[in-house]
Every structure is written in structure tokens, then in C-alpha cells.
Structure 1
């Protein structure tokens, strides 16, 4: 992965020292800005407000770029055990081709697994809001670490912000004393932004 989110993951949340620019027109972008998913490269791109408007409609840009939505929906706890991912902080991204990936944060960035698409479809049947997750640009974000029960439908850029946060705060073998409070603040901010 390269592009905007790879830079975010490499630099961590404190890497905001240099101003970001739109990856389509090079105009400066605000700290809170839109993102596009570039389908051919499987990457997220930062965009300014005017450029994001160009891709707001269904099929805009011939499908080459897709605007990452801003929807954040907190769900009742979802039993993700059938998806077979052995970590408690993870996000699941259904893909346009029908596959599903799971990604979890680590000190080195995002770890990635393939998830059985039939298991995902079964989960979506049991939890109807999951059937509305927009492929490639939205995800199911789960936090069951340390007794938490957070289950969200979020834009994929939120997921990669979480990965960057964990990478920046992780210390030692178990994460140290900063990473889990930082993750709790991240989920509290999701509540405020939803």
C-alpha cells in the first residue's frame, strides 16, 4: 500500500508537520479532508473539497475513483468469531469482487488476512446493517480488547487512522501503557463524530 494512508501509517498521527495536498490537483487540504479510493491501485488518496465533489455521484470518474463516505454507525455487539480472526482490534473490508479482508493494527502497520466470504455473508444476514457496508470504502471496525465491546461501520480512512495511532503509541511487546488509552480515546471520538 502506498498513497495517503501509507504515509499516515508510516509517520503516525504526529506526522502532521508538513501540509498535505490534494493528490489530484495539488491544492492544500484541511486537516479534516475527503478521501478517494483508487480502484486500480487499491489505494486511498487525499483530495480537496472541490475535487471530492467531482466523484460524489454513483459511477463518477468511470469508477476509477470512489469517494470514501463519512458515515459512522455504532452497532450492537456482533459475534465475529465465525470470521476466524484471532485479534480483538480489527477491521473487516468487503471488496467489490466479493472477497473480504480483515486488518489489524500492529507496531509495524496493518496485518492483513483473507476472511471466508461465506462467513461474512452469514454475519451480514444476522446483522442487516452489515449488508449496507459499501465495498472497498467502508468497514466493520471491532474493538473487544480489555473488555471493550465496540462495533462500528466506518469509512476505511478511520480504520487506517486507528492503525497509525496504534503504531505511534505502541511500546514493548504488549503495547505498553499508552496504546490502549489512546485506542479508547479513538473510539470515544468516533462516538462524538457519529
Structure 2
């Protein structure tokens, strides 16, 4: 997934819920879309695309469009603590995306965007055996989102666009070298909103 392209869309949407949100349009038919709208994952370009409700219905079946577009689901499921240390990712705020090719990527937000690296697929399979909910994740479009920063234990299966929204929050609120006073309360609000939306 091209983080910069998807992130730019999320930042535009989150930053301007007023005029910018009203100006958003479906990337398939150009119809206006509201602030809360469906997304498609474009497998050819590895990007998230904004779509209107009627266009999203056309891609409810993963085989639609010869499999090029996959509808990003709306499922938000809070999990008990997942021991992600076995995945070798030393970051307290990170999301893991299983891919349709069998690989798994980890992405951690930073003030410059998302840092991305590949996770050992065998380690992911072992973790999925312990937490069967992980095996139910839709490849490319759902993520395991983890926040263990400042003693929190937030573990969620979320739509991948939620993860890009979180990255946008970090970029918008980060100040200085350590993040400043605004970033961590904003991250806590983000997870509180996840609870409300689940």
C-alpha cells in the first residue's frame, strides 16, 4: 500500500472535515462523498481509494472488478492483549497488515509518516494459532492495531483506513523530538473513538 497517497487522502479528510470533506468525490464515478464514506483497496496501485455508497456495493464481492478493488470492511473488534513481541517489532504503537500474497507488514506511525517493515510470516502464523481472530482478518484491508505506549493495552482488528487515520493524527499533532504535549492525548482520543465506533 502506498502510504503517502493513502495518508494524504486521510490528512485532507481529517484536517478539513469542513470544506475539504465537502469537496471529496468518489474516485470511480466522481459523485460527492460525505466525510464518513467507504473505501476500496486498489490492489494494482496498492492504494486506498474513496468511493460513494453505490460504487462500494459493486465491490462487496472480492471477485468483483476481476479482484482489482477490495472493499475495506467496517469491522472494529477489540481483542485481549496479543503478545506481539514474538513478531520482533520493538514499537509500542504499530499496525500489522496480512497481505494476500502471504506476507505480513508492520507499520509504525512517526512524525514523517509510517515506517514499514516485513514481519516473519511463520511467526504471524504461530500467533494466529493462539489468537484465531487474527486468522479471520481480510488480507490487505484489515489490520491488527496495537498501542502499548504509556502502559496502555489496546489491541484491535480494524479497517486499514483507521490505521492511516491514526498516522495522520500523529503527523498533525507531533511537536519537537519527543512529540510534545498534544500527540499522546490525541492518540488516546483516537482509541477512545475506536471504542465508541465499535
Band of TM-score, shorter chain: over 0.9
User: Do 1:3 and 1:45's aligned partners in 2 also have CA atoms closer than 8 Å?
Assistant: no
Alignment match, 1:157: 161
Q: Point out the structure with the larger helix share.
A: 2
Q: Which runs of at least 4 in structure 1 moved beyond 6 Å after TM superposition? A: none
Report the TM-score when normalising by structure 2: 0.94
Task: Give yes or no for the alignment of 1:119 onto 2:123.
Answer: yes
Helix, strand or coil at the partner of 1:13: helix
Task: Give yes or no for the alignment of 1:25 onto 2:35.
Answer: no
Unmatched 5+ stretches in structure 2: none
Separation (CA, whole Å) in 1 of partners of 2:71 and 2:62 = 9
Q: CA 1:64–1:124 in structure 2 vs 1: closer, same or farther (change >3 Å)? A: same
For these two proteins, the number of residue pairs brought into alignment is 194
Alignment match, 1:8: 9
Cα offset for 1:61? 1.2
Unmatched 5+ stretches in structure 1: none
Separation (CA, whole Å) in 2 of partners of 1:143 and 1:79 = 12
Separation (CA, whole Å) in 1 of partners of 2:113 and 2:4 = 14
Name the Cα RMSD after superposition.
1.5
Alignment match, 2:88: 84
Helix, strand or coil at the partner of 2:171: helix
Separation (CA, whole Å) in 1 of partners of 2:49 and 2:179 = 29
Cα offset for 1:177? 0.5
Separation (CA, whole Å) in 1 of partners of 2:101 and 2:179 = 35
Cα offset for 1:4? 5.8
Q: CA 1:52–1:156 in structure 2 vs 1: closer, same or farther (change >3 Å)? A: same
Task: Give yes or no for the alignment of 1:178 onto 2:151.
Answer: no
Separation (CA, whole Å) in 1 of partners of 2:57 and 2:186 = 33
User: Which of the numbers 41, 51, 64 marks the counterpart of 2:45?
Assistant: 41
User: Which of the numbers 46, 56, 59 marks the counterpart of 1:55?
Assistant: 59
Moved more, 176-185 or 10-19: 10-19
Q: CA 1:3–1:91 in structure 2 vs 1: closer, same or farther (change >3 Å)? A: closer
User: Do 2:137 and 2:157's aligned partners in 1 also have CA atoms closer than 8 Å?
Assistant: yes
User: Do 2:144 and 2:155's aligned partners in 1 also have CA atoms closer than 8 Å?
Assistant: yes
Matches within 5 A, 1:62-81: 62-81=66-85
Q: CA 1:6–1:45 in structure 2 vs 1: closer, same or farther (change >3 Å)? A: same
Cα offset for 1:63? 0.2
Separation (CA, whole Å) in 1 of partners of 2:14 and 2:196 = 19
